[in-house]
Structure 1
Amino acid sequence: MATLREIKQRIAGVEKTQQITRALKMVAAVKFRKAQQSIVQARPYAYRLINIMGHVAYDIDRSLHPLLSVREPQKIGFVIITADQGLCGSFNANIIRRAEAEIRNNADKQVSLILIGRKGADYFSRRNYEIIGKYTRFFKDLTFRQADEIEDLVRELYLEQKLDRIYLLYNEFKSALRQDVMVEQLLPVTPILPERCTGYVEFAFEPDAIKFLDILIPRYLNVAIWHVLLESYASEMGARMTAMEYATENAENIIHNLTMEYNKLRQEKITAEILEIVSSGEAMKATR
């Protein structure tokens, strides 16, 4: 059985841990509000541009531009977005688990990975995977320039036919309590059928389709990548805030249980001491 001193030390240790989790929750809450605001502002433009790109891919002759060309998918690339840090529940584990499932589903193909976030980079680097891009310490100062950097890489890999399909794996933000793991094809652009959308119209290109695509496709890639980075970051902050809230509550429960145990043991000691005093008094009376 633990002594009073040991229980007191455990209570002090849990209280220090609770202070840390409470501070991490407050920091995550501030970052979460900013990230949530950013993703809410970015979604309308991103969704509209992705929708337009899908319409164009359906309407146009895909042989007009190399980034629209469809090849036999023998070389697959996955852009896997995790966090740079832990303490965010199952956020990283869900992405890694889904990525490994997708890799197994494409076991008959050559699979390459582009890793964004230290947690995913650490995990896959220790295993036998082909890694062609790695970005760590990525979310400390997230800017659109970083999306440009990734866009340059994936566009070059596709144009040089080093990859035939490129997919994005990320956590889509739903709420602080919910993040959905998504797998979306980035290249080649997936056409959107007219019957699957509202407000469909045929496009007329000026001065010509090729010049238009030279402008539209890079912008589409930039915005699509920037959008998933914001989704992932907002999801990470929501997951961390929730995880730290649960950790703080669990620490409170542990402190309560330890305090009850401490008080019970202390009461037992006091009762034993009182009994010893009473017994000694009775013994002294008996000897007189």
Structure 2
Amino acid sequence: MTRLADIERHIGSMTELLDIVGAMRSLASMRLQEAQRALPGMRSYAEAVAAAIADTLPLVEGVEGTPTVAGGRLALVLCTAEHGFVGGFNEHLMEAALARIDPDDALLVLGTRGATLSAERGRPADWTHPMASRCPAVPEVVNRLSLELYRRIAGGEVGRVEVMFARCRAGGGSTIERHPVLPVDPASLGPGSLRQPPIHTLPPAVLQEKLVGEYVFALLAEALVESLASENAARFLAMEAARDNVSRKLAELGAEARHARQSEITDELLDLVTGAEAVTRGG
């Protein structure tokens, strides 16, 4: 195979790679926008449930049926990426988690890659589950996570729950945030919007328990969607850099192909001249 043919074959492979990178970049952008569109509604829902809890507080003395003790073993829920091509996204999250968690605390990791990374760092997760890849899959993951958390709370294994995730920032980049989930602190919900206790049909304790359950679900779901947005923002940036690198390599290969093609033409001309001279001498 000639040098020119080898270069052209390499150009074909790099062109296919550029198409794949472009498709992954577009997919990451689409899923980033999907998560960003979902976030305002989720925040509004969490705020509405928080206001409902504050409005019903006069009906009960505390929140019965839910953890109210702020002490005890911590369960830290860490949201990582399920799929790759996200740069140092998982590494930064894991470093932040391991720096802030005590040896006796429980580490619950969402994301297969994050769970693998945790084991590699010598701190295997106490529970793992695949992270949602898209927003429609978030409720199912939150339900699985909630069941595990409530099981551990009911068994006295943990007394507090926090969630750690990456929040995407406008203009690029992300910050790692850690938010309390359980027990729910009524003082953090703000004042209620009603001057009198609301009309209700459920017993106050049952009503509070259901509202707190919905609030916990909303907090966890918002954290997962924030993580999805940040994950896809990181993937978009990684694919953007990969696209630039592949495009630059293609430009270099194109220049090499032109030089190789010119060299072949020059060699052919030299062969023609040499052949013509040989025929002239022979004549």
Indicate the percent of aligned positions where both proteins have the same amino acid.
Answer: 21
1:115 matches 2:109: yes
Q: 1:216 aligns with which of 211, 218, 221?
A: 211
Cα distance in 2 for partners of 1:214, 1:17 equals 53
2:253 equivalent in structure 1: 258
CA gap 1:257/1:243 in 2 versus in 1, 3 angstroms: same
User: Which range is displaced more, 126-135 or 45-54?
Assistant: 45-54
2:51–2:193 CA contact under 8 A, matched in 1: no
TM-score by structure 2 length?
0.78
Cα distance in 2 for partners of 1:192, 1:63 equals 12
Deviations 1:5-49 (A, max 9, x none): 332222111111111111222333333332221112212222454
Structure 2 counterpart of 1:42, one-letter code: M
**Superposition pairs of residues 92-111 of structure 1, within 5 angstroms:** 92-103=90-101, 106=102, 109-111=103-105
Cα distance in 1 for partners of 2:94, 2:211 equals 32
TM-score by structure 1 length?
0.77
Q: 2:79 aligns with which of 81, 97, 110?
A: 81
Q: Please state how far the C-alpha of 1:179 moved relative to its aligned partner.
A: 2.6
User: Which range is displaced more, 116-125 or 155-164?
Assistant: 155-164
CA gap 1:190/1:250 in 2 versus in 1, 3 angstroms: farther
**Superposition pairs of residues 113-262 of structure 1, within 5 angstroms:** 113-126=107-120, 128-136=122-130, 138-139=132-133, 141-175=136-170, 177-189=172-184, 210-262=205-257
2:31 equivalent in structure 1: 31
Deviations 1:228-265 (A, max 9, x none): 11111222233323332332232112101111122123
CA gap 1:38/1:233 in 2 versus in 1, 3 angstroms: same
CA gap 1:98/1:138 in 2 versus in 1, 3 angstroms: same
User: Which range is displaced more, 91-100 or 275-284?
Assistant: 275-284
1:39–1:234 CA contact under 8 A, matched in 2: no
Unmatched runs of 5 consecutive residues or more in structure 2: none
**Superposition pairs of residues 52-91 of structure 1, within 5 angstroms:** 67-71=67-71, 73=72, 75-91=73-89
Cα distance in 1 for partners of 2:148, 2:195 equals 29
Structure 2 counterpart of 1:114, one-letter code: L
Unmatched runs of 5 consecutive residues or more in structure 1: none
Q: Secondary structure at the match of 1:110?
A: coil
Structure 2 counterpart of 1:87, one-letter code: F
User: Which range is displaced more, 138-147 or 224-233?
Assistant: 138-147
Cα distance in 2 for partners of 1:240, 1:56 equals 43
1:17 equivalent in structure 2: 17
